[in-house]
Chains A and B, each alone.
Chain A
Amino acid sequence: MTADRQPHPLAAGLLPANWDEGTPDPGRLAPEHAAHVGELQRAGADLAAFFARAANGLAAAADLPELDERHTTLLGRERGHVTLALGDLPHVPLEERKRLGRAYNLAKRWLGELEAAQRRALEQEREARGAGMLDVTLPGRRPWVGHRHVLAQIREELLDLFHGLGYSVYTSPEVEHEAYNFGKLNFPPDHPARDAHDTYFVSDTRLLRTHTSPGWVRAMEERRPPLRLVFPGRVYRAEQVDASHMDQFHQVDGLFVARDVSMADLKGTLNTFARSILGAGVRTRMIPIYFPFVEPGAQLDASCVNCAGEGRTRGPDGERRCAVCKGSGWLELLGAGMVHPNVFRAVGYDPEEVTGFAFGMGLERIAMVRHGIPEIRLFLENDMRFLSQF
């Protein structure tokens, strides 16, 4: 009980003033509620009549606003008669408290049920009425349709590009044999280069592929050169997940094997790729890098999309180091190289007869560079605020 309010009359077993204005006569009370009224008689005839009238009012409400109003008057969480009365009961003498408390709790439950039943009835009625009143002049509501995930869009775009360059798609298993993931790609057993691929092993010799390159081996074992293939797919690494590492991500590898394929062909292909994905103005460079399955190996860098390769950006507070390329002016795009003769030997090709180039890129990386996405985790979080931007 607060100081600025008198105890509610019901807490003293008295009826509130003017409580029943506009409520219908209790004569119309449905017979199944008679038992409740009988129960309440024990707390007093006046109270029983009060609740009978209240119940009647709820059951007879003609529409939802009226029902809401009566419900608020009686059971409203702030100022409802029953709510206030129950709140004030602790200050009532024990015997009285027992008698009234039992009655009010019963009434509260009973009125609550009545109100819910009437609400359902009114809502059904409203829907039934609305069905016949279709306003054909309202503008239509566009059905919500999804769209392709940003990675799927990039993949489609890449496959489309390479399709135009004469490549077809080859897919290979995600659970791969160690020999295909490592051995035949010129990773000798016990070779430290295997450490660069933190691997999920399924058994001693089976693993979740750590790159899409095992597809080359499978394709070359099945087919004879010339080959021009792309290998899209999901790969797995047992990495600590952070802003730039996920334990699963996507790659697209490419492989071109024929007679007299050269590094110049590789460079031309990769430049076509870079211009298609990042725009005609992009500059590229190839720097040497080591992968066991290519020799020579190269890393393709593109001029930074944020600072146009300047390494510095100008803002309101003057010039500063570009945050995207960390000042180098270059962004790492993919790895590539000429297929290692040992890989050809492993699949039964004669390295004296054929040569080939290969490249492999992470789809997430390409998407991040192209759209300036700062966080690799966003791709898998299914947050519509992110996904709907693409």
Chain B
Amino acid sequence: MKLPISWLREWIEFDATPERVAEALTWRGFYVEGIETHGRAFPGVVVARVLEVARHPNADRLSLCRVDGGAGELRVVCGAPNVRAGMIVPLATVGATLPGGTVIRASKIRGEESQGMLCSARELELADDHEGIVDLERFLDGDAGFTLGRPLDEVLGPPETVLEVEIPFNRPDGLGVVGLAREVRAALGGRWTAAGSRRLAARWSGGDDFDLEIEDREGCPRYIAQAVEGLAIAPSPLWLRRRIEAVGQRPINNVVDATNLVLFELGQPLHAFDLDRIEGPAIRVRRARAGEKIVTLDDRERALDPEVLVIADRARPVAVAGVMGGAGSEVGAGTTRLLLECAGFDPVRIRRGAKALGLSTEASKRYERGVDPGLGPAAAARFLEVLAAIAPGIRRGAARDRETATRPRAGCGSGPRVARG
């Protein structure tokens, strides 16, 4: 589990260096394997605008760019396929030192002079992306002041330190930032931030008008379904994409990123269905029937058997419970209404389903080890809070919360842990 320090600070106030936090976690059974820094400052890397892109006369895959780096025009040879005129890019000027100790020098590349280098996200340790040059307007949502020649680190803000924490099998509560925050708070003192306390106290409540039935009561102790309408799918804002990237995931869109945010923050897996692609609309939580099939989000058709718990609509399975959603009900660019699933499942049932399909996902990993059954209402409330902030104009639709009398089997921890400050 990757633990970004800035995310931890969003939840608790504490006065300690990342190294001290790492040591405290290690001594409490959460072994910290490594400490990484993203977005370190690299002196000499500045904001620049590409003025013109021409073919390199002696190379097919290189282009010859005229670039304005604030202090006059430069000529730069670039190998990235996405470079185009007008783009705002990070430019490593002559003399800049990049990660790994590469020093930028003026040189001739295939006979053409190059007075710097345009950088990809990976080259600057901003993210793992090495597909092309960073498009700063897109990367920063175009909201930063793009003064040409301004040092990049001023534009990007402070660097992010991320702890790589090994979560023991008996502490599934550590598979979320808030769980680790509790541990850090217990070790080092400190208080919940105002936002943190408020979110921990928040509880989802909603209508009772969605058609939801839990048929496998043992497999699913709790299921909250909440429809959301008036949605516009869009890329997430920078702060959310940064969060998602900091824990090693790829940002997809505002809805998927919001579910992932709650997953990594609280440890509660969520799933969003496209409500218009759910027949009924109705949800049945049941075992798969012999011969049933589903195409999962990874676009593979998978045969199901009655050992596998599924989420079905009136006609067919739409998700493998606790493991992976179905491609047929995936939230996509055209989605305007979604159905949020916030559920508790039996760890053994999810583990068998994941094994039967040969799948291991961030959700199944958490359900197998045991997700705090008390988390659901706080997680659903947090998702709606985040979504309202990044997708203005949404409205809540039909909803239902079903809790079966079955006491959930304990996961790997000594007993269920309930989310409390």
A-side residues, CB < 8 A to B, are 190-193, 196, 287-290, 292, 299, 326
CB contacts (< 8 Å) of A299 on chain B: these are 31
CB contacts (< 8 Å) of B171 on chain A: these are 290
- Report B295-326 CB contacts with A as 1/0, cut-off 8 Å: 00000000000000000000000000000000
Q: B412–A191 contact, CB under 8 A?
A: yes
Closest to A196 in B: B169
Cross-interface CB contact of A190 among B28, B34, B351, cutoff 8 Å: B351
19 new A-B contacts at CB < 8 Å, known A287-B26, A288-B29:
A190-B347, A190-B348, A190-B351, A191-B169, A192-B169, A192-B365, A192-B369, A193-B169, A193-B412, A196-B169, A287-B27, A288-B27, A290-B29, A290-B168, A290-B170, A290-B171, A292-B170, A299-B31, A326-B34
Closest to B349 in A: A190
Closest to B365 in A: A192
Closest to B34 in A: A326
Q: B351–A289 contact, CB under 8 A?
A: no
Instruction: Give the 3 A-B CB pairs with smallest separation, nearest first.
Output: A290-B168, A288-B29, A193-B169
Q: How far, in whole Å, are A345 and B365 apart by their CA atoms in the complex? A: 30
CB contacts (< 8 Å) of A193 on chain B: these are 169-170, 412
Indicate whether A290 sits within 8 Å of B169 (C-beta atoms), given known contacts A190-B348, A191-B412, A192-B369. yes
CB contacts (< 8 Å) of A190 on chain B: these are 347-348, 351-352
CB contacts (< 8 Å) of A326 on chain B: these are 34
CB contacts (< 8 Å) of A191 on chain B: these are 169, 412
Closest to A296 in B: B29
A-B contact count (CB 8 A): 36
Q: How far, in whole Å, are A290 and B28 apart by their CA atoms in the complex? A: 11
Q: How far, in whole Å, are A1 and B89 apart by their CA atoms in the complex? A: 67
Indicate whether A289 sits within 8 Å of B368 (C-beta atoms), given known contacts A190-B348, A193-B169. no
What is the CB-to-nearest-CB distance from A317 to chain B, in angstroms, rounded to a whole number?
12
CB contacts (< 8 Å) of A290 on chain B: these are 29, 168-171
Residue of B27, B31, B352, B369 contacting most chain A CB atoms (<10 Å): B31
Q: How far, in whole Å, are A193 and B26 apart by their CA atoms in the complex? A: 19
Q: How far, in whole Å, are A190 and B355 apart by their CA atoms in the complex? A: 10
CB contacts (< 8 Å) of A292 on chain B: these are 169-170
Considering the complex, which residues of chain B in the window 155-171 have a beta carbon less than 8 Å from any beta carbon of chain A?
A: 168-171
What is the CB-to-nearest-CB distance from A123 to chain B, in angstroms, rounded to a whole number?
63
CB contacts (< 8 Å) of A288 on chain B: these are 27-29
CB contacts (< 8 Å) of A287 on chain B: these are 26-27, 29, 31
What is the CB-to-nearest-CB distance from A183 to chain B, in angstroms, rounded to a whole number?
15
CB contacts (< 8 Å) of B348 on chain A: these are 190
Number of B residues, CB within 8 Å of A: 18
Q: A192–B368 contact, CB under 8 A?
A: yes
Q: How far, in whole Å, are A288 and B352 apart by their CA atoms in the complex? A: 30
Q: How far, in whole Å, are A239 and B368 apart by their CA atoms in the complex? A: 22
CB contacts (< 8 Å) of B412 on chain A: these are 191-193
Residue of A196, A289, A299 contacting most chain B CB atoms (<10 Å): A289
Closest to B170 in A: A290
CB contacts (< 8 Å) of B352 on chain A: these are 190
Residue of B31, B169, B170, B351 contacting most chain A CB atoms (<10 Å): B169
CB contacts (< 8 Å) of B34 on chain A: these are 326
- Report B144-187 CB contacts with A as 1/0, cut-off 8 Å: 00000000000000000000000011110000000000000000
Q: How far, in whole Å, are A244 and B408 apart by their CA atoms in the complex? A: 39
Q: How far, in whole Å, are A193 and B347 apart by their CA atoms in the complex? A: 13
What is the CB-to-nearest-CB distance from A385 to chain B, in angstroms, rounded to a whole number?
33
Q: How far, in whole Å, are A292 and B369 apart by their CA atoms in the complex? A: 13
CB contacts (< 8 Å) of B351 on chain A: these are 190, 192
Q: How far, in whole Å, are A290 and B27 apart by their CA atoms in the complex? A: 12
Q: How far, in whole Å, are A292 and B413 apart by their CA atoms in the complex? A: 11
What is the CB-to-nearest-CB distance from B362 to chain A, in angstroms, rounded to a whole number?
14
What is the CB-to-nearest-CB distance from B390 to chain A, in angstroms, rounded to a whole number?
33
Indicate whether A289 sits within 8 Å of B369 (C-beta atoms), given known contacts A192-B351, A193-B412. no
Q: How far, in whole Å, are A78 and B34 apart by their CA atoms in the complex? A: 65
Closest to B351 in A: A190
CB contacts (< 8 Å) of B31 on chain A: these are 287, 289, 299
Q: How far, in whole Å, are A326 and B36 apart by their CA atoms in the complex? A: 13
CB contacts (< 8 Å) of B368 on chain A: these are 192
Residue of A191, A192, A193, A196 contacting most chain B CB atoms (<10 Å): A192
Q: How far, in whole Å, are A289 and B26 apart by their CA atoms in the complex? A: 9
What is the CB-to-nearest-CB distance from B197 to chain A, in angstroms, rounded to a whole number?
29
What is the CB-to-nearest-CB distance from A326 to chain B, in angstroms, rounded to a whole number?
7
Closest to B22 in A: A328
What is the CB-to-nearest-CB distance from A230 to chain B, in angstroms, rounded to a whole number?
26
Closest to B368 in A: A192
Cross-interface CB contact of A289 among B29, B347, B365, cutoff 8 Å: B29
